[in-house]
Amino acid sequence: MAETIYDPPALDKGTLRITPLGGLGEIGRNMTVFEYEGKLLIVDCGVLFPEEHQPGVDLILPDMEPIKDRLDDIVGVVLTHGHEDHIGGVPYLLRLKNDIPLIGSGLTLALIEAKLKEHRIKPYTLTVKEGDHEKLGPFDLEFIAVNHSIPDALAVAIKTPAGLALATGDFKMDQLPLDGRLTDLRAFARLGEEGIDLFLVDSTNADVPGFTPLERAIGPVLEQVIAAAPRRVIVASFSSHVHRVQQVLDAAAAHGRRVALLGRSMVRNMTIASDLGYLNVPDGVLIDYKKARNLPDDQIVYMSTGSQGEPMAVLSRMVNQEHAIEVGPGDTVILASSLIPGNENAVYRVIDGLTKLGANVVHKGNAKVHVSGHAAAGELLYCYNILQPKNVLPVHGEYRHLMANAKLAQATGIAPERTIIAENGTVMDLRDGDVQVVGQLDLGFVYVDGKTVGELTDSDLKDRRVLSEEGFISIICVIDRETGKLIVGPEISSRGFAEDDAVFESVKPKIVAALKEASGNGVRDTHALSQVVRRTVGRWVNTAHRRRPMIVPMVIEA
């Protein structure tokens, strides 16, 4: 991985520049910028969901700083499919300039339009489908069908005089897909014959041997679990996983159950999918959540969000008994999704919580209730052999996934120097079939916290972690303005440090002595005296309690 930060040179004429702003070294916030002859094409603009060490953060965006002063140069944003890690950042990009064109399939654009409506943004869109060709500025684009865990996913071939780049987006090669829509290997082969200069390829399952199991293998398992459930069934999945919701609807219908959708995003997305014909709802199966509560327990299936342990999602609120549906003995909960790296602890907490409430929890670890939407090693090898790309850029994955993908490419004969392990901000130039790393931008995380975007810093998050883990101590002292003598205090209070403030009696004399010594040395500045108090309390806390709470001293003149 690149480490040294250095600016790239001016872009030479006839050269295609590629700069990933997110999605490398992580599962999420996918965004790649292509530049040719002064124009920019963006592929995807997603979000990353926060981990435990990022308390209070709602979303994490790609760092868009490198393009903020070039918004007029953007000819469009190609969205490969409708998952949040590929479209969730679009509203924040369009806040900067709301007329940037969005290009994608029918379902993808419908999902992002619904999201943008909540942000009061009406986008400019261009609907495309597999086989379509479009020219945006200097970029000739061809769209290719790929199979994924959401319908209507597309790969995009980007052609310029500098060369041909193929970006897969997320894909797998399910040979019996539920919607009959295969990854178009014939189109891949044709592009391979033309000569692919750079292959940007999904790496998520590159370290998984063999082939990703068939999606349709999940249906019978869901039917068996639902058939055997004595009471209510709650199925948690991604709110955009149309195929999984279809399987749940079919299984429920087969066993005389009704289905109620829970969670705003689940209801919104499935309504869109149904209206556009991507979701086939059996007659009489769907029921409003409020009416569903009047049905006998053995006649209902709830389809909810929260499969990743998200604290505000439906399933977590059930665990915390903050939801109208109270999970109890005899209920069956199915977690029909994979574990996104970084979410493991949150998911296991949800599983433990549901188990304590008496539910039977079925998940990928004990039943085949989910298959991945990403190509495993065997499928990637097929792609490399069909395409025979000159250069490979593994994308969409943590470092181990990128490295595993690069090794697969090398195993098929691609030279190691032509398999590029990059990171976010790595600047690469493509010309005459060669790719050169020419720069490394200094990019960071952009946090969304409530209505604020980008104002929260890593230092702020560190303070939040300290507060949550170590607690808070405040000390108030009042000194005489003329003499510097302590006249009130020290008054000490704490939160999350000790149940009884009596523990501070032993440190108060130390504070008094430290202030007296500083005053005797002529120190009168209240900020300097506050630091004296901070150091005194910090040493005492560390020695006596082996703790490092946040210490907030306040010295006031009177």
Domain boundaries, the chain: 18-210+372-442, 215-362, 458-557
CATH 3.60.20.10 is held by the domain 215-362: no
Predicted pLDDT at 460:
58
Give 194-241 as a DSSP string. H--SEEEEE-TBTTS-S-PPPGGGHHHHHHHHHHH-SS-EEEE--TT-
What's the whole-number mean pLDDT along residues 270-288? 92
8 Å CB contact between 380 and 201: yes
Considering the chain, what percentage of its residues have pLDDT values greater than 70? 92
Region of 96 (left: φ > 0; alpha: ψ -120 to 50; beta: rest) is alpha
Q: Is the pLDDT of residue 52 over 90?
A: no
Q: Flag whether pLDDT at 182 surpasses 90.
A: yes
List the CATH code of the domain at 458-557. 3.10.20.580
Backbone dihedral angles phi then psi of residue 48, each to the nearest 5 degrees: -115, 140
- The CATH superfamily of 18-210+372-442 is Ribonuclease Z/Hydroxyacylglutathione hydrolase-like (3.60.15.10)
Rounded average pLDDT over 66-71: 95
H helix or E strand, kind and range, residue 77: strand 74-78
Regarding predicted confidence, which is higher, 406 or 540? Answer: 406
- By the 8 A CB rule, do 102 and 124 touch? yes
Q: Rounded to 5 degrees, what angle do the CA atoms 179, 182, 184 make?
A: 150
**Helix (H) / strand (E) containing 142:** strand 139-145
Burial (Cβ within 10 Å: 0-12, 13-18, ≥19) of residue 413: exposed
Alpha-carbon distance values, 426 to 137, 345, 382 (Å): 24, 31, 28
Q: Inform me whether the pLDDT recorded for 489 exceeds 90.
A: no
**Number of helices (H), then strands (E), in the chain:** 15, 25
Range of weakest confidence among 68-82, 360-374, 440-454 = 440-454
Confidence at 502, pLDDT banded by 50, 70, 90? confident
Let me know if 478 is exposed, middle or buried by CB neighbors in 10 A (0-12, 13-18, 19+).
middle
Which residues have a Cβ under 8 Å from the Cβ of 390 and sit 6 or more positions away?
A: 195, 196, 197, 198, 418, 433
Confidence band, pLDDT 50/70/90 cuts, at residue 2: very low
For range 392-420, the mean pLDDT: 96
Q: Which of 139-148, 240-249, 382-391 has the lowest mean pLDDT?
A: 240-249
Residue 376, strand partner residues = 205
